[in-house]
Each structure stands twice: as structure tokens, then as C-alpha cells.
Structure 1
Amino acid sequence: MQRQGVDEDASALLDSAIDTLNDVFFLFDLDGQFLQWNERLRDVTGYSDDEIEQMVPLDFVAPEDHAAISEAIVRVIEDGRAQQEASFLTADEERIPYEFTGALLRDDDGIPVGISGIGRDITDRKRRVEALQRQTSRVETLNRINAVIREVNESLVRASTREEVEREVCSHLAGERPYRFAWIGELGYDGESVAPRTWACGRGFDDDVTPDEIDADGALALEAIETKSLCVATDVRDDAFDPETAAADHGLYSAVAVPLVYRDANYGALCLYAARSSAFDEDELAVLRELGETVGYAINAVEKRNALVSDSVVELELDVAPPGPFFLTVAAAADASLSIEGVATADDGSLTEFVAVEGADPESVVAAAREAGGDAVVVSEHDDQAILRFTPSENALASVVADLGGVLREAHADGDSGTLAIELPAVADVRAVVTALQERFPNTSVRAQREHERTNGRGVEFRDSLDEALTERQKEVLETAFLAGFFEWPRGSTAEDVAEALDVSPPTFHEHLRRSQQKLLTAYFDGVSQNGE
């Protein structure tokens, strides 16, 4: 449109041309009075021609951009041309990202008389730039986090105690952006709170701050421990943090709690805090989730390693009732007396259980095992006892206990009641082990707890050396034959019986047996020679 008073006939062609522009066109004099504009200006802003005629350039710009546009107008007058980004303000007070380009107009005598220009909507361009910036920032953050995690992984290999593992994790993570504070906690004795184990502060953060001051009740950590899933507070001011000890009071606005879990073992949670809200994106959370699994595995490995060299052990006697371990489920269904006599590793890496059956028809136990979703085969049967080979419908009980850092010494079930004897290293967190077992088998209770010195280690050393020499298949063959009574006189099972239980041919059974016997005797006689006995 053109301001009234200008020759409309002479400018009709120009009006038609500028109205076809997709961009906003404008022309105003040096006093800021609009002389000409196109329909696009009216369509975008929602102002009528009469309203535009009474407005000045700054009326179309968001207040926060007034100074920038004023400076741009001065640059046009001084330099002849200028470009400036600003928020275009509509009649509805909507802010639209625009890029304005202006040029100085002069009369025939070269005297400046006005400024003309265009305004272009750069919403899509701004979005692309912002997306690229976010992507770049995300890549930089992930690279930084991955570098830290590599350092953490290297330190975990060297760690010799659980405490050292936890200290290394917290100190490495708290020292890198965007994290400012890191701590690890475990479930408290009341089962409803989280007890801090260790923590670390980032650069420039108050070293005297403790987890209790950041989050007194450990709400986020508790949720992660209970659910064994990663929990995020995108803005702690909007979440259930203690108002008197809120993380925000210390300049921390977002948090994540990462569960430290390895199979059935729950080692608490790692909590990280950042100085801005929404600091953790999906890619970063995926990396942290993997880190939690790595730390859980490292703690489990350290505790297992320490258990092997510990001079003393803790023995737990537990009562268990349905729903319970697979062998107890089968005992209850078959109304039988079952005892786990040993375990072996199958070809797929899972554990199978050798179970002694008393007081019931072995075939009824086999049927009950299959009804429970697992499988069983009769390995041997003589007198009043039979040996069955169980393939549980879930992880074998010995595997569950091993994942918690323990060793299953005894397991007996009589109908719908059972008892377990578990051996743990003296340094183990007994309460955490019991809690983990109760999570898996709810009707589990402690009958007794005793601590005693480990027996002479020579037998352990011999077994360790034999374990290293034998393949998993050879161990399975040797143990199956032993439990089936193959080595007794008279034999409780024939070679054909054992081979059938192992689902191999008799010649294959004999081959594995011969090789395993050779390794057994070699380990024994080498040990005798070395000890001078």
C-alpha cells in the first residue's frame, strides 16, 4: 500500500509488483513515517492500512530488540545499508524471528530522504541452526561423557574394593561438565531411605556439601533402587525434593539416578546433578544406563574376587516357601523330598541342577518339572533314591546366589517348605543379599547367621586348578557321571544311561570322560609332586 497523497496512478505498477513478494516490503522517511508497504506486512502483522499509516518502525519490533533496530537504522544512514535480526511483533503480540535488510534512499540531489527494505521470516532457518547447535552440543557432551566413562572403566579394572570402585566413579564424573555433584547410596536399614556411601564435588563446588543437603530423603535414588530403572528429574524445582535442602539451593537444577545392578544383585544408585534444567537427553541417559550396568558388574567382580581370598566367611541358613526357587516349586507339586546335589554348565552357558529325589516316583517329579515350565531327566535310579538333572524354567538357584557374590552349599525341599545354606565372604553386605533374595523369592527368611574361618585352602586351590583345566562340557560329563553313581561299585548307572541323560552318544561320553579323568589325575599328581607328598 502507498500513503495517501502520493500519485497512485504512477505507482500502481510498483504496488502490484511489491505485493507479489513473499517477504515484507517497507518504505519510511527519516522521521520514521511509513510511506509505502506491501500486503505481506499487513497479512503477517494483522494491522490494517490505517493503523500502519500511524505507526513507526519500532512499533513492529519486540521491546527487547528496540536498541538493535535503532542502531541498524543509524548504520543504514551512515553506511547506506544494514542487516539485523529481530523479533517481528504482530498485533496479537506474537513474536516471529525476522531478518530485516534496509537501504538508504536519496533524492536527485543525493540528499537522504528515506529507508526501504524487506523483512524475511527466518523461523525455519533459526530452527535448523538451533537444531544443529543442539546436535553439536549433544555430540560434544557425549564425547566428553564417553571419555570420562573410558577413564572410569580403566579405573574399575584396577580397583580392589567396592569402596574404591565407588570413589573412582564419583570423582571422575563430578569433575566433568555438565555434572557438578555425584554420589552413590544404598538402601538404608529401614528399607525406606537411602544411605550415602561416597560422594564427590565438581570444580568450584563447595566441598563441604553432602548428599543429605542436596536431597535429604534420597527420593530419586530410592525410586531408582526400588524399580531398578533410571530415574530423571528434569527440573528439581518441580519435583518432590525437600524444600529445606533442595538441590536448587546449591545451584543444581536437574538430576538423574542410575541403578547399579548386576543380574539379581542391587548395589544402590549413582546420582548425578547438573547446573541447568533438562541437562540429560536420551543419548546421554542411554550411556549412563550402560555405565550403571558396568559399575554393577565391577562391584560384583570385586566382591567375588575378594571372596576367594577372604580368610573368613559368613554362612546363612534360610527358610523358603512357595513361590520360591524352581526345585521348591517342583517339590511342592510332586509332594517330594528334593535336594540339590550339584550343578553343571550347559552348552548355552546356563546352569543345570542335579537333584536327589526321595519319597516320590522320579517320573512324577519329571512331570512336575515340565508342568512348571522347565525340564528334567532321570540320570540314575537305585534303592530309594534317584538323581535327576533339572533344567530350571528360570536361572538356576546356584546362579542366582553366585550373582549375589555367594556360594550355594545346601538346598533341600520337603513338599512346600525348603531350607538353603549360603556361604558369603565376610565383607559381603548380608542385608543386601537377603533383600535381593526376598525380592526374587518373597517368602524367604533368615533362620541363622554364623561367621567362621575358611577351611584349609589346599583343596580350594586344587579345585581351582582343575576348573581351569577342564572345559565346561568335561565338567558336566564328570559331574553327571559322579552323581549318577557311574563310579560306584556296583555301578548305579551305565555309560549308556549317563550318555542318554547328557543327550550324547556313548562313544562321545567316553571320550569326554577319559579326557576329564586324565586332567583330574594330572592335577592331582602335579599337586603331590609340588608339595612333596
Structure 2
Amino acid sequence: MESTRSATDADASVFEVEFDVRDSKYPFVGASEAEACTFDLAEMVPRQDGEYAEFFNVTGTEVERVADRAEEYETLDATVLRAWDGGGLVEFAVAGDCPAMSLAEHGGLPRQVRSADGVGRITAEIPPPYEASTVIDSFLDDTPEAELASKRRVDSVTPLFSNVAFEEALHIYLTDRQREVVETAFRAGYYEWPREATGEEVAAELGITSATFSEHVHAAERRLFSALLSGPNAGG
């Protein structure tokens, strides 16, 4: 849902908002409560058909236990990407019931999603041309379990990755074909919010089927995020 920029917001570059979420129906909240652990969102990537891939660093429990608990949620598939003593990196493939995903669809850019012992906090940036008040109201209408904790102006949108880190990771961790697919998708706007090109359009540009594109891009994402987001304590 897109919103127009108001005169009040016209002189503001970006709004930063924070929401508290305490409902255990959301996996990152419920699992953190059940396992007395902490979830930190490392990255969220849009996929086809309204799905998102969310990459969480988990601390305070064995990450395999988190993946097992994910089986309780019908709209979620969990994959352990890296594991180390007392934590790991897990991918949540989410098809619905995700407040961060809902906020992104309304125009907010989630920058931090954290849950500790059953209390979640989502920090997001709302850039032009979205109207902050409309994004907030629309999100709270869709997610009545959330509460607005704060709202303030900030100077600019925080980059997800530096260009140097992104380019280095592309060349170190991906095959030539995976790198071609990801670079083409990136240039086409596949990773923009809202998305500027669909998977089908990127696949057509590459001369491959949508299924082949999906296979390459998902494999590349997992390799990139496993390498970039595992943290210094990750095993080899």
C-alpha cells in the first residue's frame, strides 16, 4: 500500500519508528520466549509470490531447537545455515503472519528486528515518498498486537551492506553463474522495496526459466548470507 508524501513530512528525509511485539504467535517472539534466547534479524530478502527469507542470528540456545520449534508454524519453514555453541544462523522462509514483512509491504524498511525472552522490537525507517503517519496507522491496523514505541526524524536511510563488502562477497562465495544471476537481479531492482522487477522479468533478461532463476538466486542468497552474517564465532 503506497502513501503520498504530505506537506508536514516534505522537509524530512526519513522517519525512524520502533514497535514492540509481544504475541507468541510470531515465531521470532514465541521461540525466543520458549527457549529463553535472543533473535536478531540479520537480513530480510523478498522472494516470489509474497514470500520473504529472513535470516536470524540466534544466541542463548542450540539453533537446531529453534528449527524444530518452527514446525509448529504453518506459514514458516526454517533451515539451519550455521551452528555454533549456544547459537547459530537460521533462515526463516515466511509466507505470512510476519510483522516485519507487513511493515515492509506498507513502505517501512526494517533495520533491526530483535526478540529476547518473548519481547520483540522492530526498528524501521520510512523514507520518502511514503507518509510516516499513514504507514504507521496501516501497519497497526494489520498488526494490532504491535505497539508504537517511538517515532523520530533521522538523516538518511541506513545501507544494508557496504558496496565493498557486497562486491567482495559476490566474488569469494558465489559461482560465476550465481554471481551473474544475483548481479542481474540487483541491477533490475529485484531487491528494491517496493520491487522494481519480478523474478519472471529477471529470468527473461537472463534467458532462463523462472524455476532456474529461483534455484540460482536462492542458492546464492544462502551462501552470501551464511558467509556475511554468521558472525565471528561461526565455525567453518
**Same fold (TM > 0.5):** yes
User: What letter corresponds to residue 316 of structure 1 in structure 2?
Assistant: V
Distance in 2 of aligned mates of 1:487 and 1:438: 30
- 1:311 CA drift (Å): 6.8
Corresponding residue to 1:482 among 197, 219, 224 = 224
Corresponding residue to 2:119 among 417, 439, 454 = 417
Contact in 2 for aligned 1:318/1:448 (Cα 8 Å): yes
Q: Which of structures 1 and 2 has the larger relative contact order (alpha carbons within 8 angstroms, sep 6+)? A: 2
User: What letter corresponds to residue 314 of structure 1 in structure 2?
Assistant: F
Q: Give the corresponding residue for 1:367.
A: 68
Q: Give the corresponding residue for 1:467.
A: 186
Query: Mapping of 1:500-519 within 5 angstroms?
Result: none
Q: Give the corresponding residue for 2:174.
A: none
Q: Give the corresponding residue for 2:139.
A: 437
Distance in 2 of aligned mates of 1:401 and 1:456: 16
Check 1:446–1:397 CA distance in 2 against 1; reply closer, same or farther (3 A cut).
Answer: closer
- 1:438 CA drift (Å): 2.6
Query: Mapping of 1:335-374 within 5 angstroms?
Result: 335-346=36-47, 348-373=49-74, 374=76
Check 1:313–1:460 CA distance in 2 against 1; reply closer, same or farther (3 A cut).
Answer: farther
Structure 2: which 5+ runs fail to align?
Answer: 6-10, 167-182, 191-201, 203-212
Query: Mapping of 1:250-399 within 5 angstroms?
Result: 262=1, 300=2, 303=4, 312-323=13-24, 325-346=26-47, 348-373=49-74, 374-392=76-94, 394-399=96-101
Distance in 2 of aligned mates of 1:343 and 1:440: 19
- 1:479 CA drift (Å): 3.3
- 1:490 CA drift (Å): 9.4
- 1:338 CA drift (Å): 0.8
Distance in 2 of aligned mates of 1:488 and 1:413: 18
Contact in 2 for aligned 1:344/1:353 (Cα 8 Å): yes
Contact in 1 for aligned 2:22/2:145 (Cα 8 Å): yes
Structure 1: which 5+ runs fail to align?
Answer: 1-261, 263-299, 305-309, 495-533
Contact in 1 for aligned 2:20/2:147 (Cα 8 Å): yes
Distance in 1 of aligned mates of 2:26 and 2:105: 15
Distance in 1 of aligned mates of 2:33 and 2:162: 35
Query: Mapping of 1:91-110 within 5 angstroms?
Result: none
User: What letter corresponds to residue 411 of structure 1 in structure 2?
Assistant: V
Check 1:486–1:434 CA distance in 2 against 1; reply closer, same or farther (3 A cut).
Answer: closer
User: What letter corresponds to residue 468 of structure 1 in structure 2?
Assistant: R
Contact in 2 for aligned 1:313/1:451 (Cα 8 Å): yes
Distance in 2 of aligned mates of 1:493 and 1:303: 47
Distance in 1 of aligned mates of 2:34 and 2:231: 34
What is the DSSP-based 3-state SS (H/G/I as helix, E as strand, rest coil) of the residue aligned with 2:61? coil
Q: Which deviations, in whole Å up to 9, do the C-alpha atoms of 1:243-263 show, x marking residues without a partner?
A: xxxxxxxxxxxxxxxxxxx4x
Check 1:429–1:489 CA distance in 2 against 1; reply closer, same or farther (3 A cut).
Answer: closer
Check 1:411–1:324 CA distance in 2 against 1; reply closer, same or farther (3 A cut).
Answer: farther
The structure that is helix-richer by fraction is 1
Q: Which deviations, in whole Å up to 9, do the C-alpha atoms of 1:311-365 show, x marking residues without a partner?
A: 7100001222115643223322333211111123445551121111110121221
Larger Rg: 1
Contact in 2 for aligned 1:330/1:372 (Cα 8 Å): no
Distance in 2 of aligned mates of 1:489 and 1:402: 25
Check 1:351–1:303 CA distance in 2 against 1; reply closer, same or farther (3 A cut).
Answer: farther
Check 1:449–1:349 CA distance in 2 against 1; reply closer, same or farther (3 A cut).
Answer: closer
User: What letter corresponds to residue 477 of structure 1 in structure 2?
Assistant: A
Q: Which deviations, in whole Å up to 9, do the C-alpha atoms of 1:83-136 show, x marking residues without a partner?
A: xxxxxxxxxxxxxxxxxxxxxxxxxxxxxxxxxxxxxxxxxxxxxxxxxxxxxx
Normalised by the size of structure 1, how large is the TM-score? 0.31
Query: Mapping of 1:41-52 within 5 angstroms?
Result: none
Contact in 2 for aligned 1:324/1:441 (Cα 8 Å): no
Distance in 2 of aligned mates of 1:333 and 1:392: 20
What is the DSSP-based 3-state SS (H/G/I as helix, E as strand, rest coil) of the residue aligned with 1:483? helix
Q: Which deviations, in whole Å up to 9, do the C-alpha atoms of 1:189-239 show, x marking residues without a partner?
A: xxxxxxxxxxxxxxxxxxxxxxxxxxxxxxxxxxxxxxxxxxxxxxxxxxx
Alignment: residue pair count: 189
What is the DSSP-based 3-state SS (H/G/I as helix, E as strand, rest coil) of the residue aligned with 1:485? helix
Measured on the aligned residues, the alpha-carbon RMSD in Å equals 3.9
- 1:412 CA drift (Å): 0.2
